[in-house]
Amino acid sequence: MKRYAFLYNPAAQGGKSGVKLERLREFISEFEDACLFHSQDIGDITDFIEQNFDEFDVFVACGGDGTVREVAATLINTHKQMGIIPLGTGNDLCKTLNIPVKLEQSFSVLKQENAVSIDVGQCNNFIFLNSLGFGFDGLTNRYALQLKHLHPFLTYAISALKAVINHTSFEVTIIKKENISKEHAIMFSLANGRVEGGSFWIAPNASITDGKLNAILIKPIAKWIIPVLLPLFLFKKSHLIPQVKSAKIEKLSLNFNGDVDIHADGEVIENRSNKFIISLEANALEVICPPTII
């Protein structure tokens, strides 16, 4: 019998996840000798895993993509497994892993104990599981942190429209093996998963198990036309936008000409460097999810 530790982040979904806490306790009570840990501050979950690493077989992230990322960071390349009970705003990784948002269904997936080894992205000194974004989507996520009281779709839709008004273009030098190119862009993203911002399909054909990242570059677009084009990301049609370029990569380096907004799995990254080395570690993390992911 596997031993489960459920790691709950009360700050998930802007603090609204607390309404599900009692039901969470009910479902957890069905697991023998399971533990429910309440995070109180940044780093608490990491400390708990490190201090209780040998006591449990599965560490379950009960929160949003940020909570998932924190749990994963300690479990990479270990024999321990990660489970996910999605309680966040976007729950983007779960859409790629086909983990349902409803509590009863996500616990049902957990009980099936099917584990898949997924790829993990690495950028400088931090990881990402779903996506890493520079520019427009980084700014969108910065705004989204201020609007967690709204419905998830509205949070990201309003944040994207604010980013339309306030974003600026940048110049980035892309180094991939022996190839060096310089691009003028408003966004550069590395997608391991398929969805950003809850509903925006940034890389509809991405696979989290193929050992590759989807690199998405968006060249400058007139600001007035971006709101017209954004719905194409909702309906998996971004390839119809001429300014959107994509490619599969395993490793690259990025040098930006100035400061740029950055997010990793929806969390804003405050970074003073303009140089980034990005790679992917294949099959580095075991996650309990349905066996139907690509």
Q: Quick count: other Cβ atoms within 10 Å of Cβ 249? A: 17
Task: Give, for 227, the enclosing helix (H) or strand (E).
Answer: helix 226-234
Domain with CATH 2.60.200.40 in the chain: 126-280
69-79 mean pLDDT? 96
pLDDT digits (tens, 9 = 90+) for 93-128: 999 999 999 999 999 999 999 999 999 999 999 999
Strands 262-264 vs 267-268: parallel, antiparallel or unpaired: antiparallel
Q: How far is CA 248 from the centre of its chain?
A: 18
Domain with CATH 3.40.50.10330 in the chain: 4-125
Write down the pLDDT at residue 76: 97
Q: In what order do the strands lie in the sheet with 267-268?
A: 244-249, 213-218, 187-191, 131-135, 262-264, 267-268
Q: Is this model's pTM higher than 0.75 or not?
A: yes
**CATH number attached to the domain at 126-280:** 2.60.200.40
Distance CA 242, CA 87 (A): 36
191-220 mean pLDDT? 95
Write down the pLDDT at residue 14: 59
**CATH number attached to the domain at 4-125:** 3.40.50.10330
pLDDT over 60 at 294, yes or no? no
**CB 187 within 8 Å of CB 137:** yes
pLDDT over 80 at 88, yes or no? yes
pLDDT over 60 at 140, yes or no? yes
pLDDT over 70 at 32, yes or no? yes
Query: What is the residue-averaged pLDDT of the chain?
Result: 93
138-156 mean pLDDT? 89
> At which residue do the structure tokens 């391991």 appear?
192
Enumerate residues 6+ apart whose C-beta is below 8 A from 167: 135, 136, 139, 186, 223
